[in-house]
A and B are shown apart, each in its own frame.
Chain A
Amino acid sequence: MLAYMIRRLVILLLSLFLAAIVLFVLLRLLPGDPANALVGVGATPEQIAAAQAQLGSDQPLAAQFVKYLRDIVQLDLGNSFVSRASVLDEISRRLSVTLPLTLASFVLALLIAVPFGILAAVKSDRWYGLLLSVVSQVGIAVPVFWLGILLVYEFSLNLRWLPSGGFPLRGYADPARAVQSMILPVLTISIVMSASLMRYVRAATLEVLGSDFLRTARALGESHTGALMRHGIRNGAVPVISVLGIELSTAFLGAVVVEQVFSLPGMGSMLLLGIQQRDYPSIQGVLIVSTLLVLMTGFLADLLQRVLDPRLRQGGKQ
């Protein structure tokens, strides 16, 4: 297990390194010199040269890359061109919206998907079991931003139950309004996500239901429910956990889009704003932190799966 963890950690670091290279290249591919964006239109050549010196973009690429890596390792993401504020501070402020949104959606999606996915499999011969699998099949094709708009139309504009968007200026210091403005975004993401999770849960449950070891348990006197509890949950969980990492990342990316629907001040809107304003440090910061979060999630999901499945543990030692 330890050997595997080390190996997996090396892979994680390699992925991060690779991601850093990709982002570095992509950002250098952006048209124009960031220095131009820093000083604005109509600047004198001297001003541009000064800005280039300040940003280091007059240095050779290799030197720029080393500085870039060193900054990332030191968690120094620079300052925004537009607001001059620290990008890291801005990101942590924005994460306080995006992370709760992502996690709440993820948990709600699990709470919907696990019981209904199991039900869809166990009762696959009944009309409601069939209906559940059809619903999940349909649900994965729903565009998340479209669902958001429809929910706003119905619950904010027609029924006037909830705010159509925005986030209280005082943030969580105004808990009632903060929660209110999160309800629709969370629902939006979790509905779409639970549909795809439900398919995995259903498939895993069907696999367990058809398994020989469940039959063995029942042939030796265990009740159907008892056998499912004793053998089914763990065996069913392993394949589901392998997709949870990806699903959590999907929820995070969904949040980026859904923030736009509900005008939430999260990571997604920061990235979009950064792109519109050519605010390179902000763009770079958001992408680095997002990639870090996504890769870490995958890492944790892999470890969890190892803990549950002894066959994988053994494979890791070899």
Chain B
Amino acid sequence: MADLLTVSGLSLKTADKLLVEDLSFSIGQGERFGLIGESGSGKSLTSFAILGLLPASIRPTGSITLGGEQIVGASERRLSSLRGDAVACVFQEPLTALDPLMPLGRQIAGPVRRRLKREGIDSSRAAVKREVRVLMEQVRLPDPQRLFDAYPHEVSGGQRQRVAIAMALACQPRLLIADEPTTALDVTTQAEIVQLINALVADLGISLLFISHDLAVVGQVAERVMVMRNGRPVEIGTAQQVLTKPHDDYTRNLVAAARRFDAALEGGA
């Protein structure tokens, strides 16, 4: 079967700077793919390119196909119908990623209503509300009755991120992009969110593009990973191979550093 997402020869540049150079990878149906890199390595820009949401000042060249559709150079109309349908995204900072002035229930209802309309099913107020409740349960939000009418600033960071995940799932996308979804959270909550994403992706058979600087987190999620540095791909392979027997010097350093850090933590404990 053809891959769901194929990125080949992707470069991103502004008027005077090359941000991402000659990036190629693909994600199969139901596959969980990890993109690793330190901040500024171009991994988030890559996810924006896949969503077709690059700022106007950045020009993409090369090719990105999602479910057989070319994204580079596609019209905004085409892109906006792909977003939500083929691909959805969870971002790093759930506080700013949610509308501060809208109750959580209504925020989840937005993508729900769009999907119901797209599929031509009953999109009445009651139907949307029912679906929102199901989603809130699916992402294990406690006390949905209260949270439905709560505002983002009234709930915890982990709960906000669950809402963001619910919104992404509401689209029933074929590819879920999770862009540093755990970075803004504390360690315990991180683990819960990673578990949740893992479980949902597996249950629903969605492909996952998981972006993080944290090797340990990516290792828990991804089957295959790619390491990026300064906008260039450094190494690609199965998670097992890259994270335990890296070929590239940079990756080796990353892995060694992560190990030392873990060892220090354990030694200190």
Contact = CB atoms under 8 A, between A and B. Distances in A.
A and B are partners in one complex rather than unrelated chains: yes
Contact of A311 (B88, B110, B153): B153
Given A220-B111, A221-B114, A234 B101 contact: yes
Interface in A211-251: 211-213, 215-224, 230-231, 234-235, 238
A309 interface: yes
A218 B167 contact: no
Interface string B103-143: 00000001100100000000000000000000000000000
A222 B117 CA distance: 13
A216 B88 CA distance: 9
A309 B101 contact: yes
Interface residues of B, number: 31
Contacts of B76: 223-224
A216 B101 contact: no
Given A216-B98, A230-B110, A221 B84 contact: yes
B91 A220 contact: no
B257 interface: no
A215 B53 contact: yes
B51 A219 contact: yes
B227 interface: no
Nearest to A230: B110
A215 B111 CA distance: 13
A202 B189 CA distance: 38
B71 interface: no
B114 A216 contact: no
Interface in B156-181: 164, 167-168, 170-171
B110 A235 contact: no
A125 interface: yes
B151 interface: yes
Contact of A218 (B53, B56, B98): B53
B185 to A, nearest CB: 16
Query: Interface SS of chain A: helix, strand, loop or mixed?
Result: helix
A27 interface: no
Nearest to A213: B99
B53 A213 contact: no
Contacts of B101: 231, 234-235, 238, 308-310
A232 to B, nearest CB: 10
Given A230-B110, A310-B153, A314-B153, A218 B99 contact: no
Contact of A231 (B102, B164, B168): B102
Given A212-B96, A310-B153, A219 B89 contact: yes
A213 B98 contact: yes
Interface string B52-80: 01001000000000000000000010001
Contacts of B114: 220-222
Interface residues of A, number: 24
B100 A219 contact: no
Nearest to B81: A221
Interface string A96-138: 0000000000000000000000000000010000000000000
B77 to A, nearest CB: 8
Interface in A173-212: 211-212
B100 A221 contact: no
Contacts of B51: 218-219
B83 interface: yes
Interface in B6-28: none
B93 interface: yes
A132 B89 CA distance: 35
A216 B76 CA distance: 16
A124 to B, nearest CB: 10
A220 B84 contact: yes
Contacts of A222: 80, 84, 110-111, 114
Interface in B193-229: none
A217 B88 CA distance: 10
B235 interface: no
Contact of A220 (B151, B153, B168): B168
A215 B153 contact: no
A235 B80 contact: no
Contacts of B110: 217, 220, 222, 230
Nearest to B164: A216
Contacts of B53: 215, 218-219
Contacts of A308: 101
Nearest to B80: A223
**Most-contacted residue by chain B among A216, A223, A308, A310 (CB, 10 A):** A216
Contacts of A220: 83-84, 88-89, 110-111, 114, 167-168, 170-171
A300 B26 CA distance: 57
B97 interface: yes
Contact of B83 (A221, A230, A231, A235): A221
Identify the 7 closest CB pairs spanning chains A and B, nearest first: A221-B84, A212-B96, A219-B89, A213-B99, A310-B151, A221-B83, A220-B111
12 contacts: A215-B53, A219-B88, A220-B111, A221-B81, A221-B84, A221-B88, A221-B114, A222-B84, A222-B110, A224-B80, A235-B101, A309-B100
